[in-house]
Structure 1
Amino acid sequence: MDKKKVLIVDDQNGIRVLLMEVFSSEGYLTYQASNGKLALEIVRNETPDIVLLDMKIPGMDGLEILKQIKEMKPDLNVIMMTAYGELDMIKEASDLGALMHFTKPFDIDEMRVAVNMTLERSSGSSVSISS
């Protein structure tokens, strides 16, 4: 069985390292990107099963990255990570197709459970439509 792939996109190294450790220990293949350009390359080349995406990334913000991810892979699961108070952006992210968001500092166990549940749901429906 193929390992599920988790892509972590955050400009803060500490958060990327923490999330990579958590999801590697859950048995997922983890990828990390500190900026939008790299994140989109990984989405294109590795086709992750889920993306944990920070809203505030220098250069290309989370919403722009989300738009481009959804253009490439409309069905890709994306969970947003936001700083407190970015409610307008959260609404826009939902409109663009983000599954849910976590406000920093988030509970790492809640994040883990959300990712596990999302990936279990998406592996349950193994219908793939290739364009």
Structure 2
Amino acid sequence: MEEKKILIVDDQNGIRILLMEVFSSEGYKTFQAPNGKIALEIVQSDAPDLVLLDMKIPGMDGLEILRHIKEANPEIKVIMMTAYGELNIIKQATDLGALMHFTKPFDIDEIRIAVHEQLRSGSL
């Protein structure tokens, strides 16, 4: 079975480290990016299977990053993370192809289960 790749995009270092530890300990190959520019470089070079994408990132915001990810590769699954209950952003993200969203502070187990399910469903 090919190792699944997860890209974590968040400007908060602590969140990136936490998520990377969780997913790499479960056998995923993890990448991290603190901003949109680096995230899109990783999308181009490593084609992750799934991206955990924070909505509020300085510079290029989450919706813009999501749009670029989907343009680069529509197959990449994207799960949004947001610190606010901004329904308009969540709706726009869903319209752009995000699968689901988690509101911070999130339950790490819920994200883990969601990622497993998304990556498993893609490999049938």
Give TM-score scaled by structure 2 length: 0.98
CA distance in 2, matches of 1:7, 1:104: 18
* Alignment partner, residue 68 of structure 2: 68
Q: Structure 1: 5+ residue runs without aligned partners?
A: 125-131
CA distance in 2, matches of 1:76, 1:29: 15
CA distance in 1, matches of 2:11, 2:70: 20
CA distance in 2, matches of 1:84, 1:34: 19
1:85, distance to aligned residue in structure 2 (A): 2.1
CA distance in 1, matches of 2:123, 2:46: 17
* Alignment partner, residue 106 of structure 1: 106
CA distance in 1, matches of 2:28, 2:86: 29
CA distance in 2, matches of 1:86, 1:36: 20
Moved over 3 A (4+): none
Structure of higher CA gyration radius = 1
Of all paired residues, the percent bearing the same amino acid is 73
- How many equivalent pairs are there? 124
1:2, distance to aligned residue in structure 2 (A): 1.8
1:87, distance to aligned residue in structure 2 (A): 1.3
1:84, distance to aligned residue in structure 2 (A): 2.2
1:86, distance to aligned residue in structure 2 (A): 1.6
CA distance in 2, matches of 1:42, 1:30: 11
CA distance in 1, matches of 2:63, 2:47: 19
SS, match of residue 53 in structure 1:
strand
Q: Which amino acid aligns with 1:51?
A: V
CA distance in 1, matches of 2:77, 2:39: 14
Q: Structure 2: 5+ residue runs without aligned partners?
A: none
CA distance in 2, matches of 1:104, 1:84: 8
* Alignment partner, residue 18 of structure 1: 18
Q: Which amino acid aligns with 1:6?
A: I
Give TM-score scaled by structure 1 length: 0.93
